[in-house]
Amino acid sequence: FRRCLSTRLEVWRKGRQAASVPLLILVVLLLFFFWEMAVVLGAGLLLGFRYRLSGPLAEGSGVRGFLASLREALDHFLARLRRP
């Protein structure tokens, strides 16, 4: 439980940290407000915000590999959306 509180979702834009939320709070918000959070996180991606997990749960190589592949897929998807 403590590791989940110390792991945070960081929101970055243009190399600066814009916000940070503990992972536990993010999970609770996703459980109760899934569609609203999906819209907010998706709009953030379209506006150029980047999301990053930091903390003890994000330090494993499996988690990092999964997040790297997810980031790559989202970058590819957003690049296709931005093409004229």
pLDDT tens digit sequence for 6-18: 888 889 999 899 9
Per-residue tokens: 74: 């989202």
pTM confidence score:
0.66
Determine the Cα–Cα distance for residues 69 and 30; give it in Å rounded to an integer. 21
What digits encode the pLDDT tens for the residues 25-76?
A: 888 898 999 899 889 988 888 888 988 888 777 676 666 777 777 778 878 8
Decide: 3 and 57 in contact? Cβ < 8 Å. Answer: yes
Decide: 57 and 49 in contact? Cβ < 8 Å. Answer: no
For residue 55, count CB atoms less than 10 angstroms from its CB and return exposed for 0-12, middle for 13-18, buried for 19 or more. Answer: middle
